[in-house]
Every structure is written in C-alpha cells, then in structure tokens.
Chains A and B, each alone.
Chain A
Amino acid sequence: MREKKRKAKRVIPGYGVSLGVTVTMLGLIVFIPLCSLVIFSAEMSFADFVETVTRPRVVSSYLVSFETSLVAAVIDAVMGMLIAWVLVRYEFPGKRLMNGVIELPFALPTAVAGISLTHLTTTNGWVGGLFDRLFGVKIAYTRVGITVALIFIGIPFVVRSVQPVLEKLDGQYEEAADILGASSRQTLLRVILPEVAPALAAGFAMSFARGLGEYGSVVFIAGNTPYETEIAPLIIMSQLQEFDYAGATSIALVMLFFAFLILLLNAVIQSRASRIVSGIS
C-alpha cells in the first residue's frame, strides 16, 4: 500500500482489493501450509532425517520413481513431438478427434485411469495378454506398468507445449533449407528441432516432474512390492498411515528437492533459449 504513494497514482481502480484478496488467499492456501512444512522439518533432527532418507527401501523407491518417470518422459517427448507434428502439419480424417483426446489424461481422474490401465495390462487383460504371449513381457505389477501409467499422465504436457511453437514456425525457413539443398533429415535436425527444443524441454520437464510425484494412477498398476515396484509417494503415504509424520516429511523434502531441481534446470534452458533468440533478432 505504501508503494502506492511513491509511484504515480494508479488509474485503474481495485489495486488494494485485488492485491489484498490475492495475498490473503495465497497466504492461507499455499504459504502457511508450506511454512508448516518448513517449521516441522526444522524441528526434526538431522541425524533422523539422514537415517530415514538413506534406508535401503527408501533409496530404492527413489530409484524406481526416477527410472520410471525418466523413461516415461523420454517416450512422451518422442511421441508428443510426433503427435504435435502430425496435428500441426497434416490434414487427415479424425484430426479434430485426435486433437480433442490429447487432454484426456487431464480430464480423467487418475484413479480411474489407474484401475483401467491395470486391468488392461494384466496377463488376462486385452493388451497385457497380447504382450505376454507375443513378447513374454509382463506389464501390470512391474516397472513397465508404472512407466505405462506415467506415459499416460505425461503425454499432454509435451504435445501442448510443442504444438503452439510448431504452429508459429514459419514455413519459409524450411523452404530456404530445402532450396539450399538440405535433405529432409537435415532440415528436421538443423532447422526445426532447434526451434522447438526449448518447448520440448519444457514439456519433458513437466512430464518428468509430474511423473515423480504421481500417485493415483500408479498405485494400482505398480503392485507395490518393496525394492521392486514401490514408488516414493507410496512410501510417504505408508509412513503417514503409521502416523510417522517426521519420516514422511523427510522423504517428501528429498522429493521436493528433485522436483525443484528439474524445474530449475528447465528454467535455465528456457532463459538461455530466449537469450539466444533475442541475441539474434
């Protein structure tokens, strides 16, 4: 409020009210709960923290979470790029439907997706049976199953991140490359990919970070065998069910750290990319 006097008078009304409502609600919903996490962690002993987060079962749950979300995010990046390309560049029957279903993982409750994917991919399921007979690959109740669920969750992030950039991409760069004698592979790798790379990285980071924290769709398909298919959010959940809040908080802090690390890396990539772009123009 004090700032209001220093700066030129604001013409548009509602500064005080809107800032007040925003800050109050932000404080109540986001800031205070986060503070309680900080306060609670400050009260824990560091030795306990280290002991909890280095338990073999906990460490292997991080590894399971990390491995499955990384693989899922890579597959999402490749498939999301392809789908975005198809949606922007080609005309074909059913295109509107294809564009419409991309957001299905946002709209479908994760628990529903979880039980449905599980039943589809057990060895008796429509898809799981096929894979079991053809390749001898079991999907449900293995890490493959977790990855499948995370691919489902992450795909819209990549498509919706890359699609607008591809739409804006001017066709004349490709024409220029074509006229200058570039093969279509060279055009793709040297002309198109550098343009969409930041958006692709953003989509990858979002689906990776989301995958690390995903719970609803994974618990059903994972089987939750310790050391094998137990993900970190599930360990937090079971700590909470035993009312071990300190243990749960310790594991949560490590997860938050990794999630923020991914987003920080992405932010660095984005700012470098925008600097390159602004440097040229």
Chain B
Amino acid sequence: MERRKKTGPFQWIAIGVSAVFLIVMLLLPLVYVMATAFGEGVQVFLAAVTDPYAVRSILLTVEVTVITVIVNTVFGVFASWCLTKFRFRGKKVISALIDLPLTVSPIIAGLIYLLTFGRQSILYPYLQGAGVKIVFAVPGIVLATIFVTFPFISREIIPVLTSQGTDEEEAAALMGAGGFTIFWRVTFPHIKWALLYGIVLCTARAMGEFGAVSVLSGHLKGKTNTMPLYIELLYQGYDFTGAFAVSAILVLMAVIILVLRSLLEAKGTKES
C-alpha cells in the first residue's frame, strides 16, 4: 500500500508528543524502580531479595504462575478448539462467559471466591470436613489468579483458528486421522505462535496479579504472600529500598516478556 509521506511540522510534533508521553508515563517508572533498587548498591539489593521472606514470596509467585499457566493453557486449547471447529447452540453464551473475567474488577474477582469458599458459604462445612483450606491459603490465590487470566490464551488462539477455518481438519479426519493426530499435525502448527503469545501474556498477568490475590491471601507473611503482596508489605513498612528491590525482579520479568512478545509477533506475522 502506498502511503502519502506527510513531511510537515505536524509529523514531528506528533512523534515528539507521543515519545515524551510514553517516556514519562511508561519508561520513567521502569527506570525509577531500577534506580531505586540499585541506588544503595548491589549489596543492599542482594540482601533485600535473599531475605527468607522475599525468597518464599518469589517461590510462591513461581508456583502460582506455573499452575495458572498450565490450567489456562489446557482450557484455552480445548475451549478454542470447541468454539471454532464445531457449530452448536449456546456458543455465544460460552464465549461471553470466557471473556467475562476481563471486565470484572480484580477486587470483585476476589470477592466472589470469598463468597464461594469462605465461612458463610454453603460449601464451607464440606470443605472444613474434608480438611481443605481455600480462602486465605494458597489454593485461593491460585483460583483467583486462574480466574483473572482465564481468557488470555483462548482469546489469542480463537482469531487464528477462526480465520483458518475447518477444511484442513475435515480433510485430515476424512483420511482417517485421529483427534490427537489432527490437532498435533494440522492445527497446532497454525496456532503455535498465538499459543505462545497467550502463554506469555498469561504469565505476565499471573505473576503480577494484586487485587484479587490480595482479597484471598490473608497476608500471612512467608505463607500466602506473593511477590506483589510482599512488595506492598515492605512499602507500607517504609522499607522502600526493599520494596523496589523485589519490584526490580518483576520489572526484569516484564522486560523479558515484552521482548518475547515482540519476537513472537514478528515470527507470527512472518509465517502467516
């Protein structure tokens, strides 16, 4: 497509305004975290992030993120297969319900789990009897994180599968391929970049989720504090260097995620 090359003052003003906005709004906070985290030297940073409570929060965040990503990947693949390869009634309802967590405030996400599994719930006596602790424990944190990131992977795969249609799978099925073979040999090559992209987004949100997790964690230091909650704890205790040191790890993860994202996007557009 040929584009008019507008070379006027407007172009440079527009670029300048956008650049200043993005630098001040997005990059400066990033730089500030790094500057504060390492401002008092690497020793202080290392001491803050190797604190036993910090280590415990990092491990918990990793645990929650891994479980969330696995669950949502399985769900995302099955849901997008189901929604794009078959026609059935109630499809719109399912699709709307999948997207619902995107519009619900994280606090409300936490609240609905509290109402489902908390003390006043009808399920509570049964859970108590079975010795399962969900609210103010790790399972609650995991559930809330799964809820918040629920649509992330299916939303990336569904557009790709929709535009690809069902012809190839039908052909494969008529030639006698089994379900798994069709998925692995025919469908998967189309969706692998979208799937990876979804996993990257899901990871980012899962490790950073704050509101929903905050409602369900009970803030037990060393037990149910994920990294964002631990940062809040340090910050409220005026341990700013510690808070920014732990933040620096998350900033680093965010940067890695952004780099992965643009690599995946480039790969995806090159192949399609």
Contact = CB atoms under 8 A, between A and B. Distances in A.
Given A90-B15, A215-B211, A29 B146 contact: yes
Interface residues of B, number: 100
A103 B85 contact: no
B21 A22 contact: no
A99 interface: yes
Nearest to B206: A109
Interface residues of A, number: 88
Given A30-B97, A109-B207, A115 B115 contact: no
Contacts of A174: 4
Interface string B99-112: 01101111110111
Contact of A13 (B27, B179, B209, B255): B179
A37 B112 contact: yes
Contact of A110 (B11, B121, B174, B210): B210
Given A110-B208, A216-B106, A245 B120 contact: yes
B67 interface: no
Contacts of A18: 78-79, 81-82, 85-86
B258 A13 contact: no
A198 interface: no
A223 interface: no
Contacts of A25: 71, 75, 78-79
A46 interface: no
Nearest to A15: B86
A151 B25 contact: yes
A182 interface: no
B83 to A, nearest CB: 8
A55 to B, nearest CB: 18
B9 interface: no
Contacts of B25: 148, 151-152, 155
A245 B124 CA distance: 15
Nearest to B253: A107
Interface in A195-224: 209, 212-216, 220
- Interface residues of B: mostly helix, strand, loop or mixed? helix
A115 B210 contact: no
Interface in A223-281: 233, 236-237, 240, 245, 248-249, 252, 255-256, 259-260, 263
Contacts of B71: 25
A255 B81 contact: no
B1 A213 contact: no
B193 interface: no
Interface string A1-43: 0010001001111110111011101100111111011001000
Given A21-B75, A110-B210, A213 B36 contact: no
Nearest to A216: B210
B94 interface: yes
B14 A82 contact: yes
Nearest to B216: A240
A128 to B, nearest CB: 11
B266 to A, nearest CB: 10
Interface in A132-162: 148, 151-152, 155
Nearest to B172: A12
A240 B111 contact: yes
B150 A30 contact: yes
B198 interface: no
Given A110-B228, A115-B243, A178-B4, 12 more contacts: A11-B173, A13-B178, A14-B179, A17-B179, A18-B81, A30-B100, A86-B15, A94-B19, A107-B204, A112-B228, A112-B254, A119-B240
14 contacts: A7-B87, A26-B97, A29-B143, A29-B147, A33-B147, A36-B115, A90-B14, A101-B22, A106-B205, A214-B106, A233-B107, A240-B215, A245-B115, A255-B105
Interface of B: 1-4, 6, 11, 14-15, 17-19, 21-22, 24-30, 32-33, 36, 71, 74-75, 78-79, 81-83, 85-89, 94, 97-98, 100-101, 103-108, 110-116, 118, 120-121, 143, 146-147, 150, 166, 169-170, 173-174, 178-179, 182-183, 201, 204-205, 207-211, 214-215, 227-229, 231-232, 235, 240, 243-244, 247, 250-251, 253-255, 257-259, 261-262
Enumerate the 9 nearest inter-chain pairs by beta-carbon distance, A residue then B residue, closest first.
Answer: A213-B105, A109-B208, A216-B210, A18-B82, A215-B211, A116-B29, A13-B179, A107-B254, A111-B228
